[in-house]
Amino acid sequence: MNGGGEGLAAPATSGAAVSPLEWKFSQVFGERTAGEEVQEVDIISAIEFDRTGEHLATGDRGGRVVLFERTDIKDHGGHRRDLERMDYSISRHPEFRYKTEFQSHEPEFDYLKSLEIEEKINKIRWCQTANGALFLLSTNDKTIKYWKVQEKKIKKVCEMNVDASKSMENGAVASSMSASSKPYLANGACKDRPVSSPSNDTSFPALHLPVVTSQETSLVARCRRVYAHAHDYHINSISNNSDGETFISADDLRINLWNLEISNQSFNIVDVKPANMEDLTEVITSAEFHPTHCNTLAYSSSKGSIRLIDLRQSALCDTHSKLFEEQEAPGSRSFFTEIIASISDIKFAKNGRHILSRDYMTLKLWDINMDSGPVATFQVHEHLRPKLCDLYENDSIFDKFECCLSGDGHRVATGSYSNLFRVFGCSEGSTEATTLEASKNPMRRQVQTPARPSRSLGNLPRVLRRGADNSGADANGNSFDFTTKLLHLAWHPSENSIACAASNSLYMYYA
């Protein structure tokens, strides 16, 4: 695959260049056997690590949420606080195991609009844990749900109300009682004779109260709240606030602010719907809260711009506090310009200083203190530029690839076709640009880009601008498979570990 990183006005992170990582396969869940047909409902549509990295959640098109928990920390007696104090560069082998799953959403039908609502999970976001229970938000196109997952003790009756030592007598008494037509009281005594004490009458055993014990535990997922009927269009994003009390949900034209405890009311904080829908020029594609500033959030648009808004300015944030967009080069406009400029995903860096955005062709890293342009641009699909007509015809050009950043801010990653994903170094002087395949041999199709191309596409060599030829293969001889695409991936919050979805399989890698 052609393309590397493109260094611009300022480095993404300061300090010495970081050496490229060597990625290794860790584990896979739900891997397909050769020739196995994948059911549509089993295709993974969302991935999210919790903030500790000890749990991982996936959602699929069948409306299910599957939870995984980390096991290697417990196995080696480690603790999360100990891991946080360890050096980030130390290579560890994270291992996860299946924890539980639950049905989050069911297919619905909106009778007012004659519209089918899919059960597909669009996004999952972890909330703060409490009392050993896990909390998370999941959403489909219309409805957000707040889930609590905790261990419940299974209660069983361990002693019956019959004395085991007199079981033979009990059987005889029971048979004689069933054969008799005389009415008996609840304690087994007959109305026609006085109640006798068990110690004086051996025909009736001593009565025992049943004893309930809790020995086994089972994970139970319970829906705590349902946030519905607040979006006219499909929900594309949900994001938790750092205050632990509120979250946002975004559709094509509006962003709503919710309180976790209130499900029947939300506040519309962004509304880009014009008075006349014929005047609509752009839609909201993604939105996320700042990781530490509870009053700041960012949202991206189909025109390739990112707006930073401050909730303290006004109740309805129609005006942004900062606008991040890159000016297109003169003479470069084409029919596909706006389509490939649309941002499919944005993520804040852990420190809140940078925003990573993914459009169809590139990854861009933005400094929120510098709105003149991105501080780094990474070419992901430049080799597909000659094929934009074909990609438009088969709708692949509208695929929405996600992006993620490492916890230390040194690297970024995103997916591509043929189940490939790419990892770029974004620290100063880094030339790291690694391509991996979602398989047990991720380095099979590795490509190291020796140097970053120059800033302007117009200055690139003619061969690089042309990208791949029309033979259906890239510069390395690898054929493109547009039916297999790696759209969803997540980076562990504190380690060099990536989880990514290839169809119905969850692959995990570490470096």
- The single-letter DSSP state of residue 38 is P
User: Domain ranges in the chain?
Assistant: 5-143+228-510
Residues 184-201 have a mean pLDDT of: 50
- CATH assignment of 5-143+228-510, among 2.130.10.10, 3.40.50.300, 3.40.1010.20, 2.60.40.10: 2.130.10.10
**How confident is the prediction for the chain on average, in pLDDT?**
82
Q: Name the nearest CA neighbour of 53 among 70, 67, 65, 66.
A: 70
């994001």: which residue's tokens? 239
Q: Residue 22's pLDDT band (boundaries 50, 70, 90)? A: very high
Residues 274-285 have a mean pLDDT of: 94
Host H or E run for residue 179? helix 167-179
Residues 214-220 have a mean pLDDT of: 81
Residues 406-427 have a mean pLDDT of: 95
Cβ proximity of 495 and 484 under 8 Å = no
Neighbours of 422 (CB within 10 A): 24
361, two tokens: 């062709």
Percent over 90 (pLDDT), the chain: 61
The predicted-structure confidence for 300-313, as pLDDT tens digits, reads as follows 999 999 999 999 99
Rounded Cα–Cα distance for residues 221 and 104 (Å): 9
Of 91-105, 139-153, 181-195, 452-466, the least confident: 452-466
Q: Phi and psi at residue 339, in whole multiples of 5°?
A: -65, -45
Strands (E), 325-428: 345-348, 354-358, 362-367, 376-379, 403-405, 411-415, 420-425
- This prediction has a pTM of 0.79
439, two tokens: 């398989």
The predicted-structure confidence for 67-120, as pLDDT tens digits, reads as follows 999 998 654 444 444 444 444 444 467 899 999 999 999 999 988 888 899 999
Residue 444: burial class (beta carbons within 10 Å; 0-12, 13-18, 19+): exposed
pLDDT of residue 467: 31
Of 144-153, 204-213, 396-405, the least confident: 204-213
The angle at the Cα of 407, spanning 401 to 413, to the nearest 5 degrees, equals 25
Q: Residue 16's pLDDT band (boundaries 50, 70, 90)? A: low
